[in-house]
Amino acid sequence: MKDLLPIAIIQTSLVWENKAANLSMLATKAAAVKGAAIIVLPEMFNTGFSMQPDLFAEDMKGETVQWMMALAQQKKAIITGSIIIRDEQGFKNRMLWVQPDGTIHHYDKRHLFGYAGEQDHYTGGDRRVVVQVNGWRILLQVCYDLRFPVWARQQPQDDGKPEYDVIIYTANWPERRSMAWKTLLQARAIENQAYVVGVNRVGEDGNEIYHSGDSSVFDPVGSMIYQVAHREDVHTVYLQAAELQDMRTKLPFLKDADQFTLML
């Protein structure tokens, strides 16, 4: 894997259920990013955390997917974040991984937020997704998935190596539960011996729920690399392969992990 993996975080307020305004705003913010391999946007970045998928859902050829493809080509970077997608199974809170060459991978949010009635409007996913860039392996997760550690737990591969090197969480996580957000991101890094990148929105949404952001990056032993609250921010972090490998060599505790199989 390449020694450095530059990841750009866009922590921003979102215009409630206004695709055009959000895409225009995010294009302006992305223009300031230089040299990132990946640009991470919040959950439902084009609408906010909307429970009206019948009004805002797109298919995989829709305007937002096309916007992501164009931006990926322009920035020569992977663009990732979740939007509302309609497919043959219904509506999905889908995290897209859009590469500059036009390749698209996706992960459908597994754990739907019952407190907000998300399960009444969306269909949950049934598979984990690990993508790759420059030799780095990255697990994709969305917001509420963070509360369920088994869903993110490293599963040793046939070659004995860890399954992934980084977890990316895209979120609309409210300020009233920000302590859980920060604590669980750190815990996922420690227990999986991987970098963790959590990108959240800021500001008040259409339901008068305030988001403090607290977008964060933790290294594989849980040390904080980056965290910003209560303001918009565009920032690039540089994850280090040598540091990751050194930590795994000195503390090879993943080899002692329990064996298990996920039952869906």
**pLDDT tens digits, 121-167:** 999 999 999 999 999 999 999 999 999 999 999 987 777 789 999 99
pLDDT band at 213 (very low <50, low <70, confident <90, very high): very high
Looking at residue 212, its amino acid is S
Amino acid, single-letter form, for residue 250: K
Residues 6+ apart with CB under 8 A from 191: 149, 153
**Which residue in this structure is represented by tokens 């009444």?**
120
Instruction: List the one residue out of 71, 18, 30, 10 whose CA is nearest residue 205.
Output: 18
Per the domain annotation, does 68 fall within a domain? yes
Residue of 19, 92, 109, 182 marked catalytic: 109
- Does this model's pTM top 0.85? My answer is yes
- Indicate whether 263 belongs to any domain: no
Domain annotation covers residue 102: yes
Looking at the DSSP assignment, which residues form a beta bridge with residue 14? none
Selected catalytic residue, list 75, 143, 175, 182: 143
Any domain includes 262: no
Q: 33 lies in a domain?
A: yes
Residue 56 falls inside a structural domain: yes
Amino acid at 236: T
Please report whether residue 96 resides in a domain.
yes
**Could you report the per-residue pLDDT of 58-104, keeping only the tens digit for each?**
999 999 999 999 999 999 999 999 999 999 999 999 999 999 999 99
- Among the listed residues 43, 58, 118, 175, the single catalytic one is 43
CATH code: domain of residue 137: 3.60.110.10
Q: Look up residue 191 and give its DSSP letter.
A: H
Buried b (16+ CB within 10 A) or exposed e, 64-86: bbebbbebbeebebbbbbbbbbb
Known catalytic residue at 34: no
Which residue range(s) make up the domain with 144?
Answer: 4-256
Cβ neighbourhood burial of 116 (10 Å; 0-12, 13-18, 19+): middle
Residue 115 in domain: yes
43 is catalytic: yes
* Residue 20: per-residue pLDDT: 98
Over range 34-40, report the average pLDDT. Answer: 98
Number of structural domains (the chain) is 1
**Residue 143 designated active-site:** yes
